[in-house]
């Protein structure tokens, strides 16, 4: 399956928890690391599976989701290069992960990873910080899900994606939307129809405009901010 990872040539390293590991630490981490690729829609792991690996996303987009017995789904996150996945409880994955686009990931053997964690100074601290940031984002998403209207949800979503692109060092403006309307709906607690209608309405109002490859151009960011009900 996996082939050896050239950490030295990793171009997302600065955005991951690996960023400030020393060279000798990177070398040891590399020993328990493999690369994997996934095709669009391919399942990376399923909620409840035994968690053998933890992952950094290198290329592409991933969606994380949970579901109810009757099939209703909630997307709990979209991941892009540099993002970490593999939240675990009782050695089992806490959500399912699915490739949205073609995806390349860096997989660490969990058991050995957790040992290394104790040894490498500052690694736990860094992961703790990352976890805290995710928790804050989760709270923000609760506010969105519990209290925002469809319009506010879509506007917030576009602005959030734009902001995250900037953090990865990508342009803020044409926002790349590789996921389906249905994925967006499951992320925002809406239906595909409502998502579609809302996009259309924003287009009609000249706030956004379609761009190449399913990207969206934010024409009037100020208007979006206002619609999003920014705190």
Give whole-number Cα distances, 64 to 82, 85, 94, 99, 159, in Å.
15, 9, 10, 9, 20
Among 34, 74, 180, 215, binds DNA (CB under 7 A): 180
Q: Which stretch binds DNA (CB under 7 A): 17-25, 100-108, 136-144, 177-185?
A: 177-185
Counting contacts by CB under 7 A, is residue 39 touching DNA? no
Q: Which is nearer to DNA, 34 or 191 (CB)?
A: 191
Could you say which of its own copies, DNA, none residue 139 binds, taking C-beta under 5 to 8 angstroms by partner kind?
its own copies
Counting contacts by CB under 7 A, is residue 209 touching DNA? no
Crossing angle of the two packed helices 23-31 and 110-119, in degrees rounded to 10: 160
Cβ pair 47, 14 in contact under 8 A = no
Could you say which of DNA, its own copies, none residue 181 binds, taking C-beta under 5 to 8 angstroms by partner kind?
DNA
Q: Minimum distance from CB of 102 to its own copies (Å)?
A: 26
Q: Minimum distance from CB of 124 to its own copies (Å)?
A: 4
Cβ pair 128, 15 in contact under 8 A = no
Q: b/e per residue, 146-177, with b = 16+ CB within 10 A?
A: eebebbbbbbbbbbbbbebbeeeeeeeebbbb
Among 87, 104, 160, 165, binds its own copies (CB under 8 A): 87
């Amino acid at each position: 399956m996996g082939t050896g990872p050239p950490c030295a040539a990793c171009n997302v390293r600065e955005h991951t928890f690996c960023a400030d590991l020393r060279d000798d630490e990177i070398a040891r981490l590399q020993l328990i690391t493999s690369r994997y690729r996934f095709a669009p829609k391919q399942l990376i792991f399923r909620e409840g599976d035994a968690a053998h690996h933890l992952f950094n996303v290198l290329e592409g987009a991933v969606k994380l989701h949970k579901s109810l017995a009757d099939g209703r789904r909630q997307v709990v996150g979209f991941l892009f290069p540099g993002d970490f996945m593999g939240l675990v409880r009782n050695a089992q994955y806490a959500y399912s992960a699915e490739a949205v686009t073609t995806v390349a990931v860096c997989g660490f053997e969990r058991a050995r990873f957790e040992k290394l964690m104790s040894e490498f100074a500052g690694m736990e601290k860094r992961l703790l910080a990352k976890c805290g940031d995710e928790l804050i984002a989760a709270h923000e998403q609760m506010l969105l899900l519990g209290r925002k209207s469809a319009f506010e949800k879509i506007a917030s979503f576009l602005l959030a994606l734009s902001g995250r692109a900037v953090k990865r060092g990508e342009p803020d403006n044409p926002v790349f939307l590789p996921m389906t309307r249905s994925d967006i709906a499951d992320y925002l607690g809406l239906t595909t129809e409502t998502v579609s209608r809302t996009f259309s309405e924003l287009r009609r109002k000249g706030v956004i405009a379609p761009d190449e490859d399913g990207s969206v151009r934010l024409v009037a960011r100020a208007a979006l901010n206002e619609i999003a009900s920014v705190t």
